[in-house]
Amino acid sequence: DTGVSQDPRHKITKRGQNVTFRCDPISEHNRLYWYRQTLGQGPEFLTYFQNEAQLEKSRLLSDRFSAERPKGSFSTLEIQRTEQGDSAMYLCASRRQGGDEKLFFGSGTQLSVL
């Protein structure tokens, strides 16, 4: 399978704990995106990378959220001191620079904060 891979698929944590998610994009894709989706809503933009550079970050994103993409390959999204409002599906997507506008999404990580 050469699609976008996300790990873990599900994460249950207690309020106040830190969590980290991983995304492996399609290998030739240099643009990588993180979105958050809650039930009944569309994906909400969090941040995106071009290679290893984080080029844009949502103003709605609190300082508890941080994302990295070392060496321009896989990416991690960390949430510190989780809150119940962080419960959501976290989606990763990638695309090639140039080419068409197609984002390839992974199946997401479902986070539940108890």
Partner 1 sequence: QKEVEQDPGPLSVPEGAIVSLNCTYSNSAFQYFMWYRQYSRKGPELLMYTYSSGNKEDGRFTAQVDKSSKYISLFIRDSQPSDSATYLCAFRSTSGTYKYIFGTGTRLKVLA
Shortest distance, position 28 Cβ to partner 1, whole Å: 17
Shortest distance, position 79 Cβ to partner 1, whole Å: 19
E-assigned strand segments in the chain: 5-7, 10-13, 19-24, 31-37, 44-50, 53-57, 65-68, 75-79, 88-95, 104-105, 109-113
When the beta carbons of 14 and 99 are compared against partner 1, the nearer one is 99
Contact residues: partner 1, CB under 8 A: 4, 31, 33, 35, 40-45, 48, 50, 55-56, 91, 93, 100-103, 105-108
When the beta carbons of 58 and 80 are compared against partner 1, the nearer one is 58
Distances (CA, A) of 58 to 17, 35, 46, 85: 23, 10, 5, 17
When the beta carbons of 38 and 62 are compared against partner 1, the nearer one is 38
Answer whether 31's CB lies under 8 Å from 49's CB. Answer: yes
When the beta carbons of 82 and 109 are compared against partner 1, the nearer one is 109
Shortest distance, position 84 Cβ to partner 1, whole Å: 21
Q: Which residue, chain included where needed, has tokens 């197609």?
A: 102
